[in-house]
Amino acid sequence: MDRTEGAAVRPDLPRHVVVMGVSGCGKSAVGARIASALGLPLVEGDAFHPEANIAKMRAGQPLTDDDRAGWLARLGHELQSRSEGAVLACSALRRSYRDLLRAAVPNLRFVHLAITQEESLRRVAQRSDHFYPPSLVASQFLTLEDPWGEPGVVVVDGALPLEQGVAQALVGLGKQCSR
């Protein structure tokens, strides 16, 4: 999905950003607005899952590291292929997953949309247009390795109103680039 039409490119901000977090945290909505603000395309990580992963999740089975390996490699290649930059909406739950994406793209930045398990469950239960069932929310919190303190990570309260969270993310990304 290309969100660059009419957007002004912001040279003071990073060219490759991953908006990450557990299911229901707002990756797609926040990612779309960050992409628009940066004049970059949005890449929906879920669109790159192999059908076997989607079928497994629909059946209420959590993905393993092995299930995610090929998906993460595809996402790394996708980011690499977009030399002009891109914003990727992707869970990136473990440090090793984030490191795989970092290896693909130098100076990759992350925006972690942090929410509680209760809020994630509430939001996922309200969705009717997604393959991810509420029964898997707890497994994401078990898998999540909090990225707080990792280089290139901005942590944003995912419970903030959408525009406020986007603004906070953009300010954080700008501060990282001005160091």
Residues of the chain with pLDDT > 90, as a percent, come to 78
Q: Please give the mean pLDDT across all residues of the chain.
A: 89
Q: Is the pLDDT of residue 1 over 60?
A: no
Residue 157 located in a structural domain: yes
pLDDT of 130? 66
Q: Cα–chain-centroid distance for residue 158?
A: 12
Structural domain boundaries, residue 103: 16-177
DSSP 95-132: HHHHHHHHHHSTT-EEEEEE--HHHHHHHHHH-SS-S-
Mean pLDDT across the stretch 19-33?
Answer: 95
Mean pLDDT across the stretch 146-171?
Answer: 96
Place of tokens 């890449």: 43
Distance (Å, whole) CA 27 – CA 172 = 16
Phi, psi for 157 (deg, rounded to 5): -70, 110
Residue 171 located in a structural domain: yes
Residue 38 located in a structural domain: yes
**pTM (global) more than 0.85:** yes
Q: Is the pLDDT of residue 127 over 90?
A: no
pLDDT of 122? 93
Residue 2 located in a structural domain: no
Residue 7 located in a structural domain: no
Residue 4 located in a structural domain: no
Between 92-96, 122-126, 147-151, the lowest mean confidence (pLDDT) is in 122-126
Tell me, what CATH number does 71's domain have?
A: 3.40.50.300
Q: Is the pLDDT of residue 7 over 50?
A: no
Number of structural domains the chain divides into: 1
Residue 140 located in a structural domain: yes
